């Protein structure tokens, strides 16, 4: 019984570590989920059907509660960029909008740098590769990504 409880606690702690300490790594969360699954299997094997169902219900509710908590508090937002690296602040005169034209500074294959006005932004080519010193146009700005295409392109 102690082994099953230990697996549930370790699994929960590993999933919490994945959420708050090591986002994006993935292995910690997978191992935590496996600990919860093994605790359920061990409960069925050593304790029987009814206790196994109880342990499975507790583990499932715990896992669902963790997912709901993460979605509710949006804890991942502190790990996200809120503007494009190298981008100007929203109230700055140099901020860009869809349709603005600029000049590539590096080869975009698909990512690179482009100058819009007096500011250099990290950008991503919509399709293919774009050589340096080519005029590009902003087609999409989403989260921390600025998507561009060659100026005059029909796509």
Name the pairing type of β-strands 119-125 and 145-150: parallel
Residue 128 confidence (pLDDT) above 70: yes
> What pLDDT digit, counting tens, does each position of 85-118 carry?
444 444 444 578 888 899 999 888 888 899 988 8
Q: 130: which DSSP letter? A: B
Residue 153 has pLDDT above 70, yes or no: no
DSSP letter at 87?
P
Q: Where are the domains of the chain?
A: 2-79, 81-155
pLDDT of residue 104: 92
Indicate whether 9 pLDDT > 50. Answer: yes
Tell me the pLDDT tens digit for each residue of 63-87: 888 778 777 766 555 555 445 444 4
Does domain 81-155 correspond to CATH entry 3.40.50.300?
no
Residue with tokens 């994006």: 24
Contacts of 94 by beta carbon, 8 Å cutoff, 6+ apart: 88, 116, 117, 118, 119
pLDDT at position 7 over 50: yes
Instruction: Compare 79 and 48 and report the one with higher pLDDT.
Output: 48
């Amino acid at each position: 019984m102690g082994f099953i409880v230990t697996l549930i606690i370790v699994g929960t702690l590993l999933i919490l570590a994945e959420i708050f300490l090591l986002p994006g790594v993935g292995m910690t969360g997978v191992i935590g989920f496996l600990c919860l699954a093994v605790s359920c299997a061990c409960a069925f094997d050593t304790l029987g059907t009814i206790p196994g169902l109880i342990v499975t219900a507790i583990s499932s509710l715990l896992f669902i509660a963790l997912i709901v908590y993460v979605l509710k508090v949006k804890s991942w937002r502190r790990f996200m960029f809120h503007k494009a690296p190298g981008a100007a602040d929203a109230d700055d005169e140099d901020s860009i909008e869809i349709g603005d034209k600029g000049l590539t500074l590096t080869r975009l294959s698909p990512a690179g740098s482009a100058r819009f006005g007096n500011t250099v932004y990290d950008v991503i080519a919509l399709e293919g590769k774009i050589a340096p010193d080519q005029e590009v146009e902003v087609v999409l700005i989403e989260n921390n990504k600025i998507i561009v295409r060659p100026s005059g392109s029909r796509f």
